[in-house]
Amino acid sequence: MPSAAAGVAWRARLRQLPALLGVALLIGAIYIVQREFRDLRLRDIGRALGAIPPHALVLSFGWTILSYFVLTFYDRLGTIYAGHKVRYGRVAFASFCAYALSHNVGFAAVSGAAVRYRLYAHWGLTPTQIAKTVAFCSLTFGLGGMVLGGAILFLEPRAVPFFGSALPVAAVYLAAALLWGIVAAYITLSSIVSRFQIFGHEIDLPGFRMAVLQVLLATVDVAVTATVFWELLPAAPRLTWLVFLGIYVSAYTAGVATSLPGGIGVFDTAILFGLKPYIDAPRIVGAIIVFRLYYYVIPLFLAGTLFSANEIVLRGEALWQRAARSAGVQAIGRWSEPDFAVASATGSVALCGVLLLCLGVLVPQADYSWLDPDVADLANQAGQFVPSLIGAGLVMMAIGLSQRVNLAWGLTLLLLVMGAAFAAVQTDRLWVAAVLMLTALLVVPFRSCFYRHARLLSGPLDPSGALSLFVLAICLLALAATRPYTGGLTNNAWWAVVVSRTVPNSLRVAVALAVLFGLIAIWRLLRPGRVGWLPWDAAARGRLAALGVIPPLHADGLVLGETERAGIPFRRCGRVLLGLGDPSGAETDRVSAIWRLRDLAQQEGLDPAFWRAGPGLLKVYGDIGLTALPLGPDGLPLPEAPDDTPATPHYLMCVAERDLGTLLPLLPQLASDQDVAISLAA
């Protein structure tokens, strides 16, 4: 099957494009800031912050409240579209928590969809209805951006940073017409048909009236959010609200495209570059800081507090329910709190990494005058070089944390402490040390959430691991050898050395290659280890029976959890690796068994799926990108209901748009085999 394997590999590489785009845009953003704003100083930004009038702060905060209020109607319409109307108070709570998280975290795998699933599942929505609600909300924002983007390109085509002045006016007008044409086609199509298929995906359309409401709501939302920022800017000649709207929409779109937390670095650079002809840089950065505080930081802390309080209430309800019955299904929220913690830790660590990478742009020279002269000389030579390397390492650790790797947790704490130590000896960077230590305190309590072994620790050291360690050591020695040549630079962060024109090209290439190969080696050591499995023989069946489960009649193998105290039998069904039921065994090892089956599927170029999954771990299956389809007594998926789908003890979890057609013909035989296995055991 070489062609099938090649197709799987091609699709896997295609899924990496958003991450690669994000890294490329971030590197470009750092380069532009270094080149265009190298004279920017922290003290100037402090004065700019103090110059923002109190009435502007109040108005901006008011627009922020209005913006989050408008966002609640995304979820309101989404639940109606999904066929399960939810009370406004509930959708407002879910919307605020979800958007406050997704605005800050940025990574799709840990986005606000997890929060919506947790809350809406408790309020009676089926997994399919929740998926429709999430998709509706995502599409709605895009429609608003297209409407305003088209208007800006028609009315103020030169307001768009980077491209507006570089393209012919005819090309800009053509792009505007294309954006409006997409919106018009969506509304027209919604009024004609209720469902259509594109790229193999079936999409239910909301109808003409709701499509129009979507477009209007999204347009108002984007305009209101831009006004939050607009109120913080000083009056400037030629800078109208419409011109700023073009800059804001372009910057926000670039930030979303990166999937970085809050579009950090890319959004800010696009704003700086777009406003540079109108306002001095310190005033722009001051407005960015307040905007991020209002729109990102404060809502995140409020949402975290509210969500945690809600979890406590739901946990109490679950305890009461378990006490009221002798047996029952696990509380569906068991893994929500850890998932929220993983999301928060991942986003915070990534932000700290970007902070250390970019610190030299604002404060290239640190004050070491209070240190012993010999120590001060060493610190000056280290300069930005070591902190910027720590920053790159923290970004890599954030990726490992999102994969729940335990080695990433330990190395993250080490890098945060090292970064804080470097910042603490600099009198003008004590706030950086405080931010890093607070992040370390956030990560420390959640050691149990990071349960997956890194490849380095998952078995004997193999040749690949030994080579990665060797490459990492060589790269570190090479970077250390550059110290005499980089210590005297004003900003000697590794990326500043790479883009500098004042150092020899050989040194620039050496630093770039050392950092690149060092990060690759770190990831090869950090990534989860290869997953082994047991062939389906008498020993595997006995091991599963020892976990208290009736072994299925037919299976291809058994996947065990990290501690080998839980397991899932599986079958290979075409392009699908199908887990037969929920993992059985120790509660603490069941989630890792799900992730390990998913990793095994990726190793073999297959899609993971699970048959007869119970409701207790639906959230975990959702985390690995699977859709839940409720199964009826006959073992087949239940039809969509206009309101609630009847409660069911079993689900089919799969990548529905690709694999449902493969799995549906197999379900009756799977159910028959299960009945036979139960009767034989009896």
The per-residue pLDDT for range 164-177, each reduced to its tens digit, is 555 677 777 888 88
The per-residue pLDDT for range 540-555, each reduced to its tens digit, is 888 888 887 788 878 8
pLDDT band at 446; cut points 50, 70, 90: confident
The per-residue pLDDT for range 391-443, each reduced to its tens digit, is 889 988 988 887 778 889 999 999 999 988 887 776 567 778 888 888 888 78
Single out the residue of 339, 336, 335, 337 nearest to residue 347, CA to CA.
Answer: 339
Residues 491 and 551 in one domain: no
What are the structure tokens assigned to 155, written together? 């009315």
The set of residues, in sequence order, having a beta carbon less than 8 Å from that of 43 and lying 6+ positions away, is none
What is the mean predicted confidence (pLDDT) over 464-479? 89
Residues 541 and 472 in one domain: no
Asked whether residue 450 is domain-assigned, the answer is: yes
The set of residues, in sequence order, having a beta carbon less than 8 Å from that of 190 and lying 6+ positions away, is 205, 206, 207, 208, 210, 211
pLDDT band at 228; cut points 50, 70, 90: very high
Residues 539 and 520 in one domain: no
The per-residue pLDDT for range 261-297, each reduced to its tens digit, is 556 667 877 888 888 888 887 888 888 888 888 888 7
| Cβ proximity of 594 and 620 under 8 Å | yes
Residues 466 and 503 in one domain: yes
Residues 584 and 502 in one domain: no
Looking at residue 54, what is its pLDDT?
Answer: 85
Residues 235 and 311 in one domain: yes
Distance, CA of 578 to CA of 607 (rounded, Å): 8
Start-end of H helices in 165-277: 169-192, 208-230, 241-258, 266-275
Looking at residue 287, what is its pLDDT?
Answer: 87
The per-residue pLDDT for range 57-87, each reduced to its tens digit, is 889 989 999 999 998 888 888 888 888 888 8
When comparing pLDDT for 588 and 488, which is higher?
A: 588
Looking at residue 416, what is its pLDDT?
Answer: 93
Residues 116 and 173 in one domain: yes
- Structural domain of 626: 534-681
Residues 510 and 593 in one domain: no
Residues 486 and 544 in one domain: no
What's the structural domain count of the chain?
A: 3
The set of residues, in sequence order, having a beta carbon less than 8 Å from that of 383 and lying 6+ positions away, is 360, 366, 486, 487, 489, 491, 492, 493
Distance, CA of 431 to CA of 144 (rounded, Å): 38
The per-residue pLDDT for range 362-385, each reduced to its tens digit, is 554 555 554 555 555 555 555 678
What are the structure tokens assigned to 567, written together? 């397991």
Place of tokens 């080579």: 467
Distance, CA of 133 to CA of 144 (rounded, Å): 17
What's the CA angle centered on 605, arms 599 and 610, to 5 degrees? 55
Looking at residue 380, what is its pLDDT?
Answer: 56
Asked whether residue 225 is domain-assigned, the answer is: yes
Residues 289 and 364 in one domain: no
* Coil/strand/helix, residue 579: strand
Residues in the chain: 682
**Residue at a domain's end among 289, 322, 355:** 322
Asked whether residue 184 is domain-assigned, the answer is: yes
The set of residues, in sequence order, having a beta carbon less than 8 Å from that of 352 and lying 6+ positions away, is 391, 394, 416, 419, 435, 436, 439
What is the mean predicted confidence (pLDDT) over 634-640? 72
The percent of residues above 70 in pLDDT, for the chain, comes to 73
* Coil/strand/helix, residue 418: helix
* Coil/strand/helix, residue 315: helix
Asked whether residue 11 is domain-assigned, the answer is: no
| Cβ proximity of 218 and 149 under 8 Å | no
The set of residues, in sequence order, having a beta carbon less than 8 Å from that of 447 and lying 6+ positions away, is 406, 409
Residues 110 and 79 in one domain: yes
CATH number at residue 543: 3.40.630
pLDDT band at 662; cut points 50, 70, 90: confident
Asked whether residue 29 is domain-assigned, the answer is: no
**Residue at a domain's end among 526, 553, 586:** 526
pLDDT band at 606; cut points 50, 70, 90: confident
Which residues on adjacent β-strands are paired with residue 535? Answer: 557
Residues 102 and 250 in one domain: yes
The per-residue pLDDT for range 98-132, each reduced to its tens digit, is 888 777 665 433 456 667 776 787 777 776 777 77
The set of residues, in sequence order, having a beta carbon less than 8 Å from that of 641 and lying 6+ positions away, is 83, 126
Asked whether residue 632 is domain-assigned, the answer is: yes
Looking at residue 569, what is its pLDDT?
Answer: 93
pLDDT band at 229; cut points 50, 70, 90: very high
Looking at residue 290, what is its pLDDT?
Answer: 86
Asked whether residue 28 is domain-assigned, the answer is: no
**Residue at a domain's end among 479, 499, 526:** 526
Asked whether residue 3 is domain-assigned, the answer is: no
Residue 81 CB coordination number (10 Å): 24
What are the structure tokens assigned to 186, written together? 């969506």
| Cβ proximity of 459 and 525 under 8 Å | no
